[in-house]
Amino acid sequence: MSNIEIKKIINPITASDGAGVKLKRSIGVEPDYFDPFLMLDEFGSDNKDDYVGGFPPHPHRGIETVTYMLQGEFEHEDSTGAKGRMSSGDVQWMKTGSGIIHSEMPAMSDGRLHGFQLWINMPAKLKMSKPDYIYIDSDKMSVHEDNDKQVKVIAGKFEKAEGLVKGHNIEPVYFDVELNKNKKFIFKLPSTHNTFIYLINGEIQIGKRKHDRVKDSTLILLEKGEVLNVIAKSNSKFLVISGKPINEEIARGGPFVMNTKAEILQAVQDYHNGTFVK
């Protein structure tokens, strides 16, 4: 079986979104698209001014958004009537489909807020489907623990721990891994998948080939292969995210991602004439 090696190491850029929420963006800038992944943001600050504005009501069509809270609390509300509060360790996997208008606002005025939002493309046949959600509360998260590591499984399966996201078209893997110094994380992946690691903190070595130092808040795009080997050079925390490419043309228009420019223009028209939410 072939070892998975590093394709590219990328330092995220500092950006802001919503009502001035400060974040680190990688996918969506470099690379612009890592099929099927459209965007990856890390938001995190101890300063309320960096996040208190939140993400007021805004539309989406044709994508899935996966919000993973490491610390802090967010309140969610949308055009389907759904409401909820996300707390530390919770996941909200939203399939926007034909269209949804939602807001995500911090339910806190001080303290640390830290988390991730990942955008996943939807294939043409599902882009106009009914919006749907998968909620994973932290206490329902499937977790593998041993003397070397802890693996929280949001999607996919590690040892006997299996995520709640199943039957998905991209066959996703989404792990949160905490690996002790000098210990190994080894995992077999489908050779068809595009895979990346996002290092949150610590320092890691990936694969068998020598590579530049990888430390803290770094996106690591991986080559296709079958066996992922990670060694922690210090106590480390990182995300392992993988999915089967969709292999379709995409057209972007802000919060809308479709297959053609005409479909983007239709989404904008639907939003402005009040027919966006089906």
Q: What is the DSSP string of 131-167?
A: PEEEEE-GGG-EEEE-SSEEEEEEESEETTEE-SB-S
| Within-domain flag for 278 | no
Cα–Cα dist 197/216, whole Å: 11
Residues 6+ positions from 260 with CB-CB distance below 8 Å = 249, 251
CB count in 10 Å sphere of residue 151 = 21
CB 215 within 8 A of CB 199: yes
| Within-domain flag for 134 | yes
| Within-domain flag for 259 | yes
262: phi then psi, degrees, rounded to nearest 5: -60, -40
At residue 111, the pLDDT reads 87
Extract the residue ranges of the chain whose pLDDT is less than 50: none
Whether the predicted model's global pTM rises above the 0.85 cut: yes
At residue 93, the pLDDT reads 95
Question: Domain with 197 in it: what CATH number?
Answer: 2.60.120.10
At residue 248, the pLDDT reads 98
Task: Tell me how far CA of residue 52 lies from CA of 74, 102, 165, in angstroms.
Answer: 10, 17, 30
At residue 49, the pLDDT reads 84
At residue 44, the pLDDT reads 87
At residue 19, the pLDDT reads 79
At residue 125, the pLDDT reads 98
| Within-domain flag for 1 | no
Domain containing 94: what range? 6-273
159: phi then psi, degrees, rounded to nearest 5: 55, -120
At residue 80, the pLDDT reads 85
Tokens for 229? 């080997």
| Within-domain flag for 153 | yes
At residue 176, the pLDDT reads 98
**pLDDT tens digits, 141-157:** 999 999 999 999 999 99
Name the domain count of the chain: 1
